[in-house]
Chain A
Amino acid sequence: LIIVSHCVSVLGCGPHYQHAIEEFCLAKFKLDMHELDQRHWCNWEDTVELYGELTNCTYLVAVKMGCFWPNQLVDEFFIHVHRHYFHDCSLSGRLLRDPPNRILGPFIVVPILVTLLMTALVVWRSKRSEGIV
């Protein structure tokens, strides 16, 4: 009996499981991601909830079918999802955005100040070269 139930669960965690998570979990995930603008797919804040739902969904299906979770099929499934949706995200995992103001500020103010200083220097030097101090 134990062997039989094992056999059933092993069978259940095969292609049947894969089909189930693709139909129930991936379809909803696809819909949600398409609603989101493609440029925001790499933005973790926008996608964390959807990703969490997908993970949860695969877990529930596994529990329902008596499979062990996580398993190799789930790993392959997620590799497939990553390859399709997250393949060109930058290493930090963030959408490109400007640094905070306390970093951006000096990068803008310093060139302006240097420009004004340099202009004053040139005016002063050309005054000096006339022999007028």
Chain B
Amino acid sequence: MAIVGHALSIASLLISLAIFFYFRSLSCQRITLHKNLFCSYVLNSALTIMYLAGVVNDPELVRRNPVGCKVLHFFHMYMFGCTYFWMLCEGIYLHTLIVVAVFAEEQHLHWYYLLGWGFPLVPASIHAVARKTYFDDNCWMSAETQLLYAIHGPIVAALLVNLFFLLNIIRVLVTKLRDTHRAESNMYMKAVRATLILVPLLGIQFVILPWRPENRLAGEVYEYVMHVLMHYQGLLVATIFCFFNGEVQAALKRQWMQYKMQWGQRRKDHCSMRSTSYTATSITEVPAFMYHHDCNSEHLNGRHTDDSELVALKTGETYA
């Protein structure tokens, strides 16, 4: 059952990655961080499926206890950490962008790559060393050991720090920037809202895991909720960051309109309605730009603008 969740996650994440790579107009630093986050989720789900199908379902392999299954467990723990540390990178990026630098120029992403891909090796290695020395059971399958906190501890710390940063951003957006930078703070509020929904969803499994209710019905509900939260995370992340994103939806609608126009054009090629179809295309193009592009505001440098100026600036940028 967990494998189904992870397979669905991989599918939705790959679709989201395809959308992000195909629509170049969406590209910016925040989307780059999203792409890395989605990659880590895809790898995490793939490794989980490999571990569940290959090791947990195969008692003969566990009895033989080859080194390979411990290596697989190590990489599984590493990718598990990667997903949470990339969420932390998203939070730190938004915090630096909004609170520290106030919508200033592009940041160098090297440190984010280091924190997201490189650092999770540290808790995973410490866990591997401790496990090998003190609790070396077959394939490291046992979940009864407190040595697993060597990985879960840093993850919970990362989630708490992330939550703190996001709440700080909200505080700054609501109190200090509302008067001076209204348009941008509205835009960034949307960006932060998505991340702020996700962080507690990802973290809640660590909080309520020890408290399984005794009541039978409540216990069943608890099992389902925990199952969804733990194994459908990739799907949740892809949905909230990509499918529910206004800009992505606008880009998809634009593309769909273009295809429809092209089919319509091919069918009516022999007719003399060519001129009307050209004007129809330009009319459907314009409303798409009324959506606030939450990435391009990085170029605005915090000037005082209102909505109409914003639209004019964006159309000018794209067509220039």
Residue of B with least CB distance to A125: B111
Question: With a CB–CB cut-off of 8 A, which chain B residues contact A114?
Answer: 122-123, 154
The answer to whether A108 and B153 touch (CB under 8 A), given A98-B147, A122-B112, A123-B95, is yes
- Considering the chains assembled together, what is the distance between the CA atoms of A127 and B153 in angstroms? 26
The stretch of A2-10, A16-24, A63-71, A99-107 that contacts the partner chain: A99-107
The answer to whether A122 and B145 touch (CB under 8 A), given A96-B135, A96-B137, A111-B153, is no
Q: Which of A97, A112, A121 contacts B157, CB < 8 Å?
A: A112
Contact B88 A119 (CB under 8 A): yes
- Considering the chains assembled together, what is the distance between the CA atoms of A109 and B147 in angstroms? 11
Question: With a CB–CB cut-off of 8 A, which chain A residues contact B88?
Answer: 119
Contact mask for chain B residues 128-144; partner A; CB cutoff 8 A; 1 contact, 0 none: 00100011110000100
Contact B154 A104 (CB under 8 A): no
In this assembly, does B288 line the interface, its C-beta being within 8 Å of a C-beta of chain A?
A: no
Contact A112 B154 (CB under 8 A): yes
Count of inter-chain pairs, beta carbons less than 8 A? 87
Question: With a CB–CB cut-off of 8 A, which chain B residues contact A104?
Answer: 146-147
Contact B92 A119 (CB under 8 A): yes
Least Cβ–Cβ distance between A25 and chain B, in angstroms? 31
Least Cβ–Cβ distance between A58 and chain B, in angstroms? 33
The stretch of B35-43, B102-110, B230-238 that contacts the partner chain: B102-110
- Considering the chains assembled together, what is the distance between the CA atoms of A99 and B132 in angstroms? 12
Contact mask for chain B residues 196-238; partner A; CB cutoff 8 A; 1 contact, 0 none: 0000000000000000000000000000000000000000000
A:24-64 near B, CB below 8 Å: none
- Considering the chains assembled together, what is the distance between the CA atoms of A121 and B161 in angstroms? 13
Q: Which of A107, A121, A129, A130 contacts B150, CB < 8 Å?
A: A107
In this assembly, does B174 line the interface, its C-beta being within 8 Å of a C-beta of chain A?
A: no
Least Cβ–Cβ distance between A63 and chain B, in angstroms? 42
Contact B105 A130 (CB under 8 A): yes
In this assembly, does A72 line the interface, its C-beta being within 8 Å of a C-beta of chain B?
A: no
Contact A103 B134 (CB under 8 A): yes
B:77-116 near A, CB below 8 Å: 88-89, 92-93, 95-96, 100-101, 104-105, 107-108, 111-112, 114-115
Question: With a CB–CB cut-off of 8 A, which chain A residues contact B150?
Answer: 107-108, 111
Question: With a CB–CB cut-off of 8 A, which chain B residues contact A121?
Answer: 111
- Considering the chains assembled together, what is the distance between the CA atoms of A104 and B149 in angstroms? 10
Residue of B with least CB distance to A120: B161
Residue of A with least CB distance to B146: A98
Contact B96 A126 (CB under 8 A): yes
Question: With a CB–CB cut-off of 8 A, which chain B residues contact A103?
Answer: 134
- Considering the chains assembled together, what is the distance between the CA atoms of A103 and B135 in angstroms? 12
Question: With a CB–CB cut-off of 8 A, which chain A residues contact B243?
Answer: none
In this assembly, does B158 line the interface, its C-beta being within 8 Å of a C-beta of chain A?
A: yes
B:114-130 near A, CB below 8 Å: 114-115, 119, 122-123, 126, 130
Listed by A's residue number, 17 A-B pairs whose Cβ atoms lie within 8 Å are: A90-B136, A96-B135, A96-B137, A104-B147, A108-B146, A108-B153, A111-B126, A112-B153, A112-B154, A112-B157, A115-B154, A116-B161, A122-B89, A126-B108, A126-B112, A130-B100, A130-B104
